Structure 1
Amino acid sequence: MSGKDEYYNRAKQQGYRARSAYKLKQLDRELELLPYGATVVDLGAAPGGWMQVAAEEVGSGGRVVGVDLQRIDDIEDVPAAVETVRGDMTEDDTKAEVREVAGGDVDVVVSDMAPNMTGEYNLDQARSVYLAQQALATARDLLTPGGHFAVKVFEGPDFDAFVEDVEESFSFVRVTSPDASRESSSELYVVGKNYVNAPVAAGDTLTVTVEDEGKEGDGIAYVEGFTVFVSGASEGDELEVEIEDVKPNYAFASKV
């Protein structure tokens, strides 16, 4: 039995709307993408196979919001709260509606979007990268610090540059190909974990004022409200520092 038949038949037997559901299952098993209680936004969600998996994994404490230009039939018999938004995720009105439906922080953004295939690989690949870039922009708009992201991209020109873009926003990035992907497919999945939405980056030098002292004795400064721990500094110091490491909610720096 071919891989295609195996996952197609398994989806039919287990009630998933698409064989692609197993790709998200495998991504979650490998990389712990969907924590219990998370709020997940699924871009290009029709017909809803990824929404089914996400709802199972985040459980009764979680919420799943599916977004697509196509209508998505109601998803039932899953533990999480599930809602859909019909619209174009590149439009501000749709993003605003997603934020409202999500009801607060978004913990995970996933996208299995693919372009309408023309059969001309270079064109299809370029469109795939464009869709992935739109998904990344959406993730940056919606994710809470520490959140996760997964997106499908066709391998080819600009793929490495796209991965570098993801690396700018997440502290952990992995490129992987789930077993459920067809052997003939050039699709890869880029997964980013621990979203960093910081006004500073490693290597930056800047002048800060130490306003407090941490439990470990480091000075604490704030850059646009973002916490920076400065080793060997005391409250009241004004000094130039270099950013050494950036985490989702804080950074470490040393005196220059």
Structure 2
Amino acid sequence: MARDQKDYFYRKAKAEGYRARSAFKLQQINQRFRLIRRGDAVLDLGAAPGGWLQVAKEISGGRVVGVDLLAIEPIDGVTTIKADITAPETLELIVEALGGKADVVICDAAPNLSGNWTLDHARSIDLSRSALRVAESVLKPGGNFLVKVFQGDTFLDYLSEVRVRFRRAQSHSPAASRKESAEMYVVGQGFFIPPVKAGDVLELLIVGVGKSGDGFGEVEGFRIFVPGSGVGDRLRVRIGPIRSGHAVGTIEGREAAL
């Protein structure tokens, strides 16, 4: 309590009518990345007490839906759902409340802290993965994603998972985060579902060369880089890592060049 009373953003939130100091985190992140735009449909996971809902509504002016295990005091023009974001049945409630797909999914949820950092980090990653699963189900193509994650051993693994689903993905810490906090925000922009998955084997015509010198082919506009290939090669390729907006493949076999 003493720390909160001295906290600049805590006092600012009280003065400006926001329910939590975290409202300024979303404002700052949105100013930098423009995740939420006017008219966007926004889904806020782990939304209590409602600070992010207030900011999302101010920025968007459109449909805003918040979900949390705790009841959220009403916010004008915002729909709230009391439910568990990790439960499969919650997805139906979300889709019904949205009336379709979302342009943006945001999540500032945190697990109940135990004091055991390894356990708390693991719980944070699990919660963030639940948020990503919901985002994959409700986001429109090209939509954006924002989620809080505690730093730890598997943080980079999680960031890689987000990169598979978004054309751009990175971590960010806004100025409103406390200096002593281990929280980090993962920003995903440009949601897409790759037309291939790791392990697939397919016939690929190499149509161009990237900056690294590797040839690439395309499947539904999705680039697959193949080291050791050149323009005109027709190859049998096994899909390997899928990254932000592209995949890397290895040559399984080579057909006659065109």
Short-chain TM bin: 0.7 to 0.9
Alignment check: 8 A CA contact 2:46 2:107 kept:
yes
Find 1:91's aligned residue among 65, 87, 91.
87
Q: Aligned with 2:37: secondary structure?
A: coil
Shift of 1:200: 2.4
The answer to whether the aligner puts 1:139 opposite 2:141 as a matched pair is: no
The answer to whether the aligner puts 1:50 opposite 2:46 as a matched pair is: no
Matches within 5 A, 1:1-256: 5-59=7-61, 62-76=62-76, 81-200=77-196, 206-207=202-203
Alignment check: 8 A CA contact 2:21 2:51 kept:
yes
Counterpart-to-counterpart distance in 1, 2:107 and 2:90: 16
Counterpart-to-counterpart distance in 1, 2:133 and 2:199: 24
Please list every run of 5 or more consecutive structure 1 residues that lacks an aligned counterpart in the other structure.
209-221, 230-238
> If the length of structure 2 is used for normalisation, what is the TM-score?
0.77
Please list every run of 5 or more consecutive structure 2 residues that lacks an aligned counterpart in the other structure.
205-217, 224-233, 248-254
Q: Aligned with 2:89: secondary structure?
A: helix
Q: Which moves more between the two structures, 152-161 or 81-90? A: 81-90
Which one-letter code corresponds to 2:18 in the other structure?
A: Y
Q: 1:155 to 1:26 in 2, by over 3 A?
A: same
Alignment check: 8 A CA contact 2:86 2:127 kept:
no
Q: Aligned with 1:153: secondary structure?
A: strand
Query: What percent of counterpart residues are identical?
Result: 46
Q: Which moves more between the two structures, 101-110 or 89-98? A: 89-98
Alignment check: 8 A CA contact 1:202 1:246 kept:
no
Q: RMSD of the alignment, in Å?
A: 3.3
Deviations 1:82-129 (A, max 9, x none): 101111122222110110110111111111011111111111111111
Deviations 1:198-255 (A, max 9, x none): 32269976359xxxxxxxxxxxxx97xx6679xxxxxxxxx87879x9998xx9xxx9
Deviations 1:128-170 (A, max 9, x none): 1111111111111111110100100111110010000000000
Alignment check: 8 A CA contact 1:172 1:193 kept:
yes
Which one-letter code corresponds to 1:176 in the other structure?
A: H
Which one-letter code corresponds to 1:170 in the other structure?
A: F
Counterpart-to-counterpart distance in 2, 1:205 and 1:109: 33
Alignment check: 8 A CA contact 2:165 2:244 kept:
no
Alignment check: 8 A CA contact 2:163 2:243 kept:
no
Counterpart-to-counterpart distance in 1, 2:90 and 2:120: 25
Q: Aligned with 2:185: secondary structure?
A: strand
Counterpart-to-counterpart distance in 2, 1:130 and 1:228: 29
> If the length of structure 1 is used for normalisation, what is the TM-score?
0.77
Counterpart-to-counterpart distance in 1, 2:140 and 2:80: 20
Which one-letter code corresponds to 1:66 in the other structure?
A: G
Counterpart-to-counterpart distance in 1, 2:117 and 2:88: 31
Counterpart-to-counterpart distance in 2, 1:163 and 1:46: 25
Q: 1:228 to 1:116 in 2, by over 3 A?
A: closer
Counterpart-to-counterpart distance in 2, 1:146 and 1:82: 23
Counterpart-to-counterpart distance in 2, 1:38 and 1:50: 15
Which one-letter code corresponds to 2:155 in the other structure?
A: F
